[in-house]
Amino acid sequence: QVQLVESGGGLVQAGTSLTLSCVASGRTFSDLTAGWFRQVPEKDRELIGVISWTTGNTLLKPFAKGRFTISRDNAKNTAYLQMDSLKPEDTATYYCAASIVSLPTGEHQFAYWGQGTQVTVSS
């Protein structure tokens, strides 16, 4: 069983940066793939990107390329989502998730979820 806890959300101004953290406990990420999602009310959860814990390779959705970066720290068992040049439309609840699938592409492939952290970007 994996427990995931996100942190780092908050209210920020447009144009600034924010880094979210996701700490795993109960089991290491070592054989899992970590992913970041976001969700706004009344819309489906949207995959931002994933990172292989073993290789560190990342795969970002097109909308996230250039502004979002996913990384991980093995020693801290923590995954990160760095968001730059934030826009009001980035306002959402951000979720960390973990999958046993090597290249998960959909929400249904993630078995473990954090509780989410709210990011609000003011204009």
pLDDT one-digit tens code per residue, 69-114: 999 998 899 999 999 999 999 999 999 999 999 889 889 999 999 9
- At 87, give phi and psi (nearest 5°): -120, 155
The helix, strand and coil proportions of the chain, stated in percent and rounded to the nearest 5, come to: 5, 50, 40
Paired residues of 34 in beta bridges: 51, 98
Q: Which of 99, 100, 120, 101 is nearest to 36 (CA)?
A: 99
**CB-CB neighbours of 32 under 10 Å:** 25
What is the per-residue pLDDT across 26-52, written as a single tens digit (0 to 9) for each?
877 778 999 999 999 999 999 999 999
